Chain A
Amino acid sequence: MPRVLIIEDDRAVREGVRLALRRQGHEVAAAATGEEGLEQLRSFRPDAVVLDLMLPGMPGLEVCRRIRAHDQVPIIMATARGDDTDIVVGLESGADDYVVKPVRARVLDARIRAVLRRVGGAADENGTARVEHHGDLVIDRAGLTVTHQGRPVALGPSELRLLLTLSASAGQVFSRQQLLEAVWEHSYHGDARLVDACVKRLRSKIGEPAGSPRYVHTVRGFGYRFGPR
């Protein structure tokens, strides 16, 4: 039974979402502020976090950054603002997915299950567990760990899955749409911004120099390709 933490300041929304998700079979905890949410994160140890962006006191983006500082739990942002900048900033601060309010419980449930699958199903699909060396980058598909120049790299579930997907077929170009389907399991027209933001985060975590990435290359007008230069 997945454990979900909702951080949402509006009581009606909080109660509504908690009720609906509980009916979908989740174990749900709810927090009204960012500070309370960070506290519950330690005690409740959720499998996924649904985080409102507009919170009194500590804003949602700051909460997201603090969670990401020491925890790779999947984060789904629920934003009342659907503006491009809000979404992009949210995704770049470490969220794995976002939903624009109002959202139906079933959609939210599907998104939560998708990010959870991402963590569990990140292992190599063909089952041959192995350690891959790509220059300074070492990917352990069985242990789901990544090290760069000997130092472990803490990747969020989306970043990890993106890296595993790209590196599994090094040299092959993936379109944003393909990556959306492979990593985010969006069977509908998802948002290319998810891919771009995640690639940006991944690059910064594995120490890609700005302007000349060594591992994740952009294929202009098409998508991305993995391959140590």
Chain B
Amino acid sequence: MPRALNGLRVRLVVAFTLVAVVATVTTGALTFREARTGVLQQSQDTVIEDFRHRVNTLVPNYRFPPDEADLQTFAADVSRGGRSQNWRVLVAYRQATATSETGDAFRELSPEMRESVRTRRATVFQRVTRDGHSALVVGMPVTFAGDYSTERPASGLEVYLTVPQREEQGYVDALVSAIERATVPALALAVLIALLAARGVLRPVRALRRATRSIAEGRLDTRLAVQGSDELADLSRTFNETAAALEGSVAELRRMEAGARRFAADVSHELRTPLAAMSAVTDVLDEDAAGLDEDTATAVRLISEETTKLAGLVDDLMEISRFDAGAAALHLDDIDLAESVRRTLATRGWPDTVRTSLPGPGELRGRVDPRRLDVIVANLVANALRHGAPPVRLGLREEHDPRAGRQAVIEVHDGGDGIPDDVLPQVFDRFYKSDSARVRSEGSGLGLAITTENVRLHGGTVRAANHPDGGAVFTVVLPLRPRGAGDRTTHTDEEDRP
């Protein structure tokens, strides 16, 4: 998961670990160097001081020039000075040498060191590591003491000492392992602190992410708890302010929209009362028109026709505002769809003008709202008859969608010129008139909008297209739900469910 690898938590942990590693390694290295130098310096100073004192004390007891036996004794005497430290001593005079332990090869002594002692007439020392053991090698020329001159001529006698530095080595080793041992807990501690810090940072970030998602899902009252006064708290505060502003704007918009809807509903409603009086008497006017003079008869018929249209428009407006208010409910019923379509055509007087291809009786049943299906079919056919041209064909068939399950597909195809491409996306809009020159159409201009709302209420889709052979095709796809599944119905069958 690349996201996890690049995540804030991993980055924080890595950064903290790196800082911890650099800090411990640097501190460890410096401490080690200083401590090691200190330890070694002190021990070698002590050894050299002891050695010089020993030699100075012993030298006057011997004859000069010494013979082989004297050298041997001298070396043994000097070596006794460092009983606790296991001194090994080599004494050299001219070509003769003697060691404190017989047969000691004294390999620690390098020729360069011997040369240096011989020529510079000064005490020299060297640290030698042999077979993993380090040792201090000290070389010292014995000089004659001159009382009145600063010149101290060399006697030719050289004394060398080797002291194993086991103890010092032990100190250094302990130091190294102590640093090593300190590094691991320090690193672990660093990772732990990094994780804690990451959590401290990530918790508000996560809360912010959750809150943002929640806002995006429409819960505009989402707010974050603001803690402390750091940058994250500032961010949370800003988020809360933004959310509050958004909620306010949306509430204002909703209020305005609700007001507009209520206005449309109220206007339609107020129109009903005068229209009710007018509609009641239109039949009377129609009947009497025959006995009137021609002009009055025309006027009376005109009033009658327009009243009928106005009544239809107000009906449609009321229906639309009911959809807008969310007050439209589905009353599902298990019906024979083909029979329902046939009935719709029959009651509108269209069976002869519309060619149908319907399934046989009982072949296609489904749970739909019969009244709304009637409105859907009637509006589509009326639209085809009004704006298209004969022949109008109506098809109904069942389809099986792998995802949505059983669906009923209703197709209304007219023989007109089709719909211009730039008009297609708008045909379902309210009051949309494709012919701008014709200000008022026969219908209310709401038929297809009402159809769309009815289809949507069923969870279906409706689309308009042009047929390759000419004419417009309106296709409605209605899901046919299994019995009792996902109903939004106020039928009494809910009440006496066993």
Contacts and interface: CB of A to CB of B under 8 A. Distances in A.
A221 B367 contact: yes
B340 A83 contact: no
Interface stretch (B47-55, B57-65, B328-336): B328-336
B432 to A, nearest CB: 24
B277 A16 contact: yes
Interface residues of B, number: 48
A213 to B, nearest CB: 6
Contact of A20 (B272, B283, B314): B283
B347 A12 contact: no
Interface string B313-357: 011001100100001110111110000100110010000000000
B278 interface: yes
Interface centre among B272, B273, B280 (most CB of A within 10 A): B280
Instruction: Kindly state the interface size class of chain A when it binds its partner.
Output: 35 or more
B347 A192 contact: no
A9 B158 CA distance: 142
B331 A193 contact: yes
Contact of B280 (A13, A81, A192): A13
Contact of A200 (B273, B308, B343, B492): B492
Interface SS of chain A: helix, strand, loop or mixed?
A: mixed
A140 interface: no
B279 interface: yes
B398 interface: no
Interface stretch (A66-74, A102-110, A154-162): A102-110
B418 to A, nearest CB: 30
B283 A84 contact: no
Contacts of A210: 495-496
B322 A82 contact: yes
A175 B343 CA distance: 15
A83 B322 CA distance: 7
Interface of B: 269, 272-284, 287, 308, 311, 314-315, 318-319, 322, 327-329, 331-335, 340, 343-344, 347, 367, 370-371, 374, 483-484, 490-493, 495-498
9 contacts: A13-B276, A13-B277, A88-B490, A102-B276, A104-B283, A176-B370, A189-B374, A191-B371, A192-B371
The 5 closest A-B pairs by CB, nearest first: A12-B277, A16-B280, A102-B279, A16-B277, A102-B275
Given A16-B277, A108-B280, 5 more contacts: A80-B273, A105-B282, A175-B335, A199-B492, A222-B334
